[in-house]
Amino acid sequence: TDLTAAGPFTVFAPTNPAFAQYLGDTGKTFDEFKADKDALAALLKYHVVSGKTMASGITAAAEVDTLFTGNKLTLDKAATGGVTVNGYAVATVDVLAGNGVIHVVDTVLAPGVSAPTTTVAPTTAAAAEANGCAAATMAAAAAALVVRLA
């Protein structure tokens, strides 16, 4: 499955600051990063799973296949009631989109990298908007880019 299909999809969208941090950690500019279309497509597809997974549907640890073939994300319910992906707290849950749902994460996810579970409580899409979160915009751009790269 790829993003040319009708969906639905679940996107774990990093915030713009998280992506800026990722670029800083890799020592690349955005132009350098997007020039490597294979690496960019792999990273973006790693943030997307088939199906519409709402936070309320995550009740225990489960591995889900990503669109980056052969790679999985681990979803779990945190003790605080929030949701984690690969051990990272999901900052904003259940941002509905026309072809699925977006969950905002404060990190760029990478295969084989996990973090300790944190105690961040989930926020709503309205709270994310109030905080200036641009992840929904980034998710839409990422989805369009993955379609063009596929």
Residue with more model confidence, 122 or 86: 86
The confidence score (pLDDT) of residue 114 equals 66
Mean pLDDT of 39-50: 91
pTM value surpassing 0.85: no
SS3 61: coil
In Å, what is the CA distance from 13 to each residue of 34, 79, 131? 17, 22, 16
SS3 17: helix
Mean pLDDT of 33-48: 89
Cα–Cα distance, 149 to 119 (Å, whole number)? 36
Task: Read off the pLDDT of residues 100-144 as tens digits, 9 standing for 90 and up.
Answer: 999 999 899 988 766 543 334 444 444 444 444 444 444 444 444
Query: Are 143 and 11 a contacting pair, CB within 8 Å?
Result: yes
